[in-house]
Structure 1
Amino acid sequence: MSEMQDYKSSLTDVSSRKFETFSYLPEMDAAQIRKQVEYIVSRGWNPAIEHTEPENAFDHYWYMWKLPMFGETDVDRILAEAEACHKAHPNNHVRLVGYDNFKQSQGAAMVIFRGPIKV
């Protein structure tokens, strides 16, 4: 059995903080983010965009960017909304959420834009 790796993440070290599953992997490029949006759409999940200040990402609710995109299947439109949120809030983290309305939970959630970290 291989050794489990401990990711040094703490509340006191802002630059070490991890968000959602994909933050433990290298940052996704535009093509990889697109594939995640395609997956969310293929599952029939409702995409939503959220954002928050990096320093509040752990102890506050994230702000919703507009309403969830109920029934939206146009990947380009979803990506355009994520870009618009990032452009409007360049200092915030922006995450993409896929809501599974059958299980009434998040089926996917990932930070797709990171705001600058203030140490």
Structure 2
Amino acid sequence: MKLTQGTFSFLPPLTDEEISSQINYALDQGWACSVEYTDDPHPRNTYWEMWGLPMFDLHDAAGVMMEVNACRKTYPQQYIKVNAFDSVRGFETMRLSFIVNQPSDEKGFRLERQDVHGRVQRYSIRTYATDKPAGDRY
């Protein structure tokens, strides 16, 4: 199963050249890039770990790619994404977010059903990755 979150998620994995092109596009728009990683890819987990600080002063994709590759080297079996923020109007808004690294074996998700009062049923999604503690998931 391939995780489908963010822009380009239904496409084949992007090459480093394609990632650089997207980063250049974001930088040309005046957006600041940041790199994040996680081992819990649940769709509601919007707060991934930040790799370094947001790169507000970079104007070349090579600097962002250096951080992406450093994160890949440290966390090769985790999800890594690049975010692009627009702070031009005085408030930060994420304009672009896409995954640049995934584990070689993605665990997937299970649907859990809970029967409550009467005939009401509630469903939730849980990733198989969280069966293990953080740091041991991939």
TM-score, normalised relative to structure 1 = 0.79
Equivalent AA in structure 2 for residue 109 of structure 1: S
Alignment partner, residue 108 of structure 1: 96
- Alignment map for 1:48-67 (pairs within 5 Å): 48-53=34-39, 55-60=40-45, 61-67=47-53
The structure with the greater share of residues assigned to strand is 2
Cα RMSD for the two superposed structures: 1.5
Residue 71 (str. 1) matches residue 57 (str. 2): yes
Supply the distance in 1 between the matched residues of 2:13 and 2:5 (Cα, whole angstroms): 12
Task: Specify which structure has the bigger relative contact order, considering alpha-carbon pairs within 8 angstroms and separated by 6 or more residues.
Answer: 1
Equivalent AA in structure 1 for residue 100 of structure 2: I
Alignment partner, residue 20 of structure 1: 6
The structure with the greater share of residues assigned to helix is 1
Point out the structure with max Rg over C-alpha.
2
Alignment partner, residue 24 of structure 2: 38
Supply the distance in 2 between the matched residues of 1:16 and 1:49 (Cα, whole angstroms): 20
Equivalent AA in structure 1 for residue 29 of structure 2: R
Percentage identity across paired residues of the two chains: 27
Residue 90 (str. 1) matches residue 79 (str. 2): no
Secondary structure of the equivalent of 1:34?
A: helix
Taking a change above 3 Å as real, the CA distance of residues 83 and 57 of structure 1, as seen in their structure-2 partners, is farther
Is residue 81–residue 99 contact of structure 2 (8 Å, CA) maintained in 1? yes
Q: Where has structure 1 moved over 2 Å in runs of 4 or more? A: 55-60
Supply the distance in 2 between the matched residues of 1:17 and 1:50 (Cα, whole angstroms): 16
**Partner deviation per Cα, 1:24-67 (whole Å, 9 max, x = no partner):** 112211211110011011011011000001x4342432110011
Supply the distance in 2 between the matched residues of 1:74 and 1:34 (Cα, whole angstroms): 9
Secondary structure of the equivalent of 1:84?
A: helix
